[in-house]
Amino acid sequence: MAVDLLLGLQWGDEGKGKIVDVLTSKYDIIARFQGGPNAGHTLVFNEKKYVLHTIPSGIFHKEKINLIGNGVVIDPVILNKEIENIKAEYVDITKTLFISRKAHLILPTHRLLDAASEKSKGKNKIGSTLKGIGPTYMDKTGRNGFRVGDLENENWKTKYDELSKKHQQLINFYNVELNFSLENLESEFFAAIEKLRKINFVDSENLLLKSQESDKSILAEGAQGSLLDIDFGTYPYVTSSNTTAAGACTGLGISPNSINDVFGIFKAYTTRVGSGPFPTELFDEYGKKMSKIGNEFGATTGRPRRCGWLDLVALKYACKINGVTKLMMMKTDVLSGFDKVLICTKYKYRGQVIENLPYDLSDSSLEPIFEEFQGWSEDLRKLESADDLPENLNNYINFLEIQLNIPIVIVSVGPDRKETLFR
Ligand code: IMP
């Protein structure tokens, strides 16, 4: 049985959590393949809202297996808080949540290193979520990391102490002022480790291989978005993992030829949180309206998200890099009531018109070239079928489908599970 992938095509916050939750009934296993608690996947159902950071978004479907893959970095303190929050839904994580032994742990000193590194960069800071993501992946690729499986070794504390000491030296090296009590952070961390031991640690690649052999269906859930990919995103303003389709292979141990559908999720407009180039960013009333109606604040940090028109040049690039087979357009309701809607179809760059992403999106000569569409005013949240979408919105959707040559199979018209139109 094949594996389907679901990933974000912009700078994250596309609404992946909602769609995974909507699609979960079709799958046996939901597996997160990269990122960590920098992600905030929001799910709304039965008038309740939940934000997941590390746990896969299929967790509320109680008979499904939810796997945190080897490519994910885990902060046990945050994971435990998530588990506490979902208890209200009577989710028994001892039966349905599994963690890869090969996943790396975020130590308290990783978080401090993240803060020190950002502070030392001054105005060139990445705008990190400060969850320790970068330093943890650095230790992973530097072959110094601390993995979930290390907790099964009786000498785990010695390994922890050695790594923590090294981090403390590095923090001193940055020579910036940080207010923290390592003692408090560590006591919270060690308490969380004991709770973490109640979750099933597995060799997740084997679990997934066996599941495929016995015809179980798997949905691989990405975090962040393609333009934040460590290789193909707007480097250095990116996260530290491969958010694109290839990341699912290394982050779960699945082979490329086992991948079937690649679901690409994008917002009907664009947002970005943190620093870095954003060619279609708006600083006018349209941008403010998107931010207000779309409630564009980070689910993890609460920071306001920057807003702008849809960037088709970047979207085409993301679709190609990922091999997207089906598209899902999110937050379409937010654009209702706009008199016009714009799509960036090309860039002006160093005196030329280009249709591809240049090496450096921050180049000061780069300007978006837009096509304008008539807006729509209907309240989409009341619609029950994609057949009832307003004509002007259909024109917008048809234009995108022709340009991208990929069908848009879902149009999301609100945060609730129910507000999802299938085409
Ligand atoms: P980090 O991954 O926390 O180091 O952050 C690096 C960059 O990625 C920053 O600009 C963050 O705002 C951004 N980022 C990280 N995770 C997410 C996410 O889940 N959604 C949107 N942006 C994110």
Torsion region of 350: left, alpha or beta (phi above 0 gives left; psi -120 to 50 gives alpha): left
6, 31, 57, 271, 301 from 245: Cα distances, Å:
8, 13, 18, 21, 26
Task: Compute the distance between CA of residue 151 and CA of residue 104 in angstroms, rounded to an integer.
Answer: 11
Degrees, nearest 5: CA angle 254-405-291: 85
Give the closest residue to 343 by CA, choosing from 317, 312, 374, 319: 312
With a 6 A CB cut-off, is 37 part of the ligand 1 pocket?
no
pLDDT > 80? residue 1: no
* Burial degree of 155 (CB within 10 A; 0-12, 13-18, 19+): exposed
Task: Using alpha carbons, select from 210, 212, 332, 348 the residue that is nearest to residue 265.
Answer: 332
HSE-CB of 53 using CA atoms within 13 angstroms: 23
314 and 357 Cβ atoms separated by less than 8 Å: yes
| Ligand 1 midpoint to CA 115 (Å) | 14
pLDDT at 88: 84
- Answer for the pair 239, 37: CB distance below 8 angstroms, yes or no: no
pLDDT value, residue 300: 81
- Name the residue of 54, 130, 239 whose CB sits within 8 Å of the most ligand 1 atoms, as the mutation to test its pocket: 239
The fraction of the chain above a pLDDT of 70, given in percent, is: 100
User: Alpha-carbon distance 141 to 136, whole Å?
Assistant: 9
Does ligand 1 lie within 6 Å of residue 4's CB atom?
A: no
Write out pLDDT tens, residues 239-261: 999 999 999 999 999 999 999 99
Atom of ligand 1 nearest to the CA of 273: 12
User: pLDDT tens digits, residue range 14-53?
Assistant: 999 999 989 999 999 999 999 999 999 999 998 899 999 9
Single-letter residue type at 194? E
Instruction: Please tell me the pTM assigned to this model.
Output: 0.96
Q: What 3-state DSSP class applies to 72?
A: strand
Catalytic (active site) residue 41? yes
Is the bond leading into 108 cis (omega within 30 degrees of zero)?
no
